[in-house]
Amino acid sequence: MASYYNVHSPEKITLSNALIEDSEKFIERFTDYHFGFSYFIYFSSFLRHYMPFIRSKVKYLLKNRDHLFETLDMIIKKRRKEIEEIPMANAFSFLVYYVCHSPHVKQKMIDEIDSVFPPNTSFNLKYDDLLKLEYCDAIINEVGRIMPVGNEIRRYLANPAEVAGYQWEAGTMIHIHINGIHSHKNHWSNPEIFDPDRFYKENDNNEMNDKARHKFSLIPFGGGLRICPGRKLAMIELLSLMVTVFGKYDVDLVDINAPLNTKSGSLTTCGGLPVRIRSRKLPV
């Protein structure tokens, strides 16, 4: 994006020049690779090997292809490692932990899954069907409240502003403590208790009413203009995992008394969660 901005804007970004230059080279290689196909489509093998001008161009295109593929391989390896450490796996691990510690929640969740995706039948995970899992959705929200993967949100003040009753100068970096908000008694009653009914439609508790709660009292995906653009996809992925795992298998913790193994930095990650998985004994 910075490279594209520099091409089209009279004002140039000067930070991270090496990164911008690498990006420009990558785009150039990709463009040359794309348009270089014509040499292999329209010129015979003989011309590509022996016609001086064409031969030199083909050598460049092959060398460019190798550099491009090496770069793509490097990106894939890096992204593969990032994917292995993405918050989705942590969120589902936390969900399994809390659900397995709450048998009544677990049974209610399984009953809802079975009502939408009947046992002993093959099912396709359709978006409209996943939206019917309102109690499962409530579980995800409560897990996100009591054990948020992100620990803080940072906001930069471009202009002087009042925050929490204090005046702050322009250029101040504000660190918003997510867990502090999610466990604050001004927003939640008994915040230390895992209770998905806070978000379930059948509960008359005002906490489940979005209009009654402060709009930023629940921010597992951040908030405002910079709220996570992938939040809806994340919810669908979690619902799909719940259906696939709990709809087909009995899942229990190996040691119900073991504390949740977490590591905290900028994110809270699950260090390990030993579980016992067996096929569900479904009625015939």
Measured in whole angstroms, the distance separating CA 187 from the mean position of its chain's CA atoms is 25
Lowest mean pLDDT among 75-89, 119-133, 159-173: 75-89
- Residue 242 clears pLDDT 80, i.e. is over it: yes
Extract the annotated binding site: 228
What percentage of the chain carries pLDDT values higher than 90? 51
- Residues 67-74 have a mean pLDDT of 90
Is it the case that residue 161 has pLDDT exceeding 90? yes
- Residue 271's alpha-carbon distances to 2, 263, 264, in angstroms, are 36, 6, 10
Residues 122 and 226: their CA atoms lie apart, in Å, by 39
Q: What is the mean pLDDT of residues 165-187?
A: 92
pLDDT tens digit sequence for 212-232? 788 899 999 988 888 888 899
Nearest Cα residue to 148 out of 217, 102, 186, 91:
91
Query: What is the structure's pLDDT at 241?
Result: 94
Over residues 91-111, mean pLDDT: 96
Residues of the binding site for heme:
228
pLDDT value at position 16?
60
**pLDDT score of 185:** 92
| CATH number at 87-279 | 1.10.630.10
Residue 32 has φ and ψ, to the nearest 5°, of -65, -40
If you search the block for the tokens 């092959």, which residue do you land on? Answer: 62
Q: What is the pTM of this model?
A: 0.69
199 closest CA partner among 235, 227, 233: 235
Domain boundaries, the chain: 2-84, 87-279
What gap in Å lies between CA 214 and CA 181, rounded to an integer? 11
